[in-house]
Amino acid sequence: MPNWKKLLTSGSNIQISALTLDADGVTKTSIDSSGNVAAEGYVSSSGVVSGTSLTLATNGATAASIDANGLAVFNSTVKTTGLIIGSTAVTSTAAEINKLDGFTGDKDDLIYAKDLKATGVTATEFDYLDGVTSAIQTQIDSKTSNVVGNLGVTANGTSLTVTTTNGTNIALPAATTSAWGVMTDEMFDAIAANTAKDTNVEEPDASEETKGKVALASNEEAVTGNDATKALTPRSGTAMAAAVTVSKKVHELTAPTAALVMNSQKITGVTDPTAAQDAATKAYVDSYRLEALSYALSDETSDIASATSVLTARIPYAFTVTNIRANVNTVSSSGLITVDINIAGSTVLSTKLTIDASEFTSATAADAHVVSDTTWADDAEIVFDIDGHGTGAKGLKVTIIGYQS
């Protein structure tokens, strides 16, 4: 066997028809007579490998090949740290290239997307097309089908009506101070008139005869009253009222509408009253305190009988009569009891005093008595007559009610 170590390290040419390298009886690398190299491990070289083609196979199956034109075909994954196409280096990362995974369009699709973005359309605006299933312009045109006829306008004092020849009229109300609406010609005229008015017109000072501006009095000015050209406000008027003492007679005041409270003070110098609702002094009231003068015209057990001058008496003081009563202790079983009273020989009753049958008092008489003379003089003679005695009546008495006059 040739000394291969010596032959491989020599500078001489080795001429063989084929070369096979085995390890443990298994061929690992072979070179045939045509120069084809087959290897089951790594093949490395620091020189140039040349030939018409290069084929890399694994277990007899071609994994990659490079032909004479440099076309490389790989049947598996290609790993590289860089890629140059022509003279241009590819700078895209694998992740960036993978973004094209699944893209089925061509370059024209990519150009269209680029041109669309260049128009300024945002993603939000583009999303507005989501769900559109037909031509947008056609849809818009269909929405205006109700506004085909000629439009007209009619107006009145309260609204403006837009009319159509083939649709529904629309009434627009006139604007108010509390609601929006259309402007009427009256509103326009009013605005134009106000616009034409002079501005910053100086108002004249007010006087008793002329309208105009007036200054307001302060609290101090209201109290002192030294400026007749200024007006009172509620506040300054209150201050004036608190500071000014009103001098006015009672009868000049406005009549009160509620009770007059005197705060525990007296009213003095009151004259004697002449009408029923007049005020009176204590002395007057005391002098006219009611009294009762009672006279018995019979005893208590005997039947009364008709007679004149049954009793004669004299008035102890000047007396004003307010009422007269008669009563019995035993009623008349039938017939009236009638009493007359005379002063100075004349009756003082225009309707005599009576007690009805079965009644004890004249207070229940069917015909009330009437006193025609109520003012009796001091020491005047008074005479009682019984003009009617009824039946079986007893204990007749007369009471005269009044006050000293």
Asked if the model's pLDDT at residue 134 lies above 80, the reply is yes
* Encoded tokens for 34: 């045509």
pLDDT band at 298, cuts 50/70/90?
very high
For residue 303, tell me if it sits in a domain: yes
For residue 229, tell me if it sits in a domain: yes
Could you tell me the pTM of the whole model?
0.36
DSSP 177-215: SSS--BPPHHHHHHHHHHHHS-SSPPPPBP-SSS--B-E
CA proximity to 354, closest of 398, 308, 302, 400: 398
Q: Are residues 157 and 228 in the same domain?
A: no
At 116 the pLDDT is: 82
Task: Report pLDDT digits (tens) over 98-124.
Answer: 888 888 888 888 888 888 889 888 888
pLDDT band at 280, cuts 50/70/90?
confident
For residue 83, tell me if it sits in a domain: no
Q: Which residue has the tokens 């003009």?
A: 387
Distance CA(183)–CA(196), nearest Å, equals 19
* Encoded tokens for 396: 């007749």
Q: Which residues pair with 398 in a beta bridge?
A: 295, 326
CA proximity to 317, closest of 277, 246, 377: 377
Task: Report pLDDT digits (tens) over 231-247.
Answer: 767 666 666 666 656 66
For residue 64, tell me if it sits in a domain: no
Q: Are residues 310 and 361 in the same domain?
A: yes
Q: Provide mean pLDDT across the span 27-46.
A: 65
For residue 236, tell me if it sits in a domain: yes
Domain that holds residue 184: 151-189
**How many DSSP H helices and E strands does the chain contain?**
9, 24
Distance CA(384)–CA(353), nearest Å, equals 11
Q: Any idea which of 44-48, 53-57, 71-75, 373-377 has the lowest mean pLDDT?
A: 44-48
For residue 295, tell me if it sits in a domain: yes
At 377 the pLDDT is: 96
Q: How many other CB atoms are there within 10 angstroms of residue 222's CB atom?
A: 23
Selected residue with higher pLDDT from 240 and 394: 394
**Percent of residues, the chain, with pLDDT higher than 90:** 28
Q: Are residues 168 and 236 in the same domain?
A: no
CA proximity to 323, closest of 347, 292, 298: 292
Q: What is the CATH number of the domain that holds 368?
A: 2.60.120
CA triple 370-376-382, angle to 5 deg: 85
The domain tally of the chain equals 3
Q: Are residues 315 and 230 in the same domain?
A: no
Asked if the model's pLDDT at residue 145 lies above 60, the reply is no
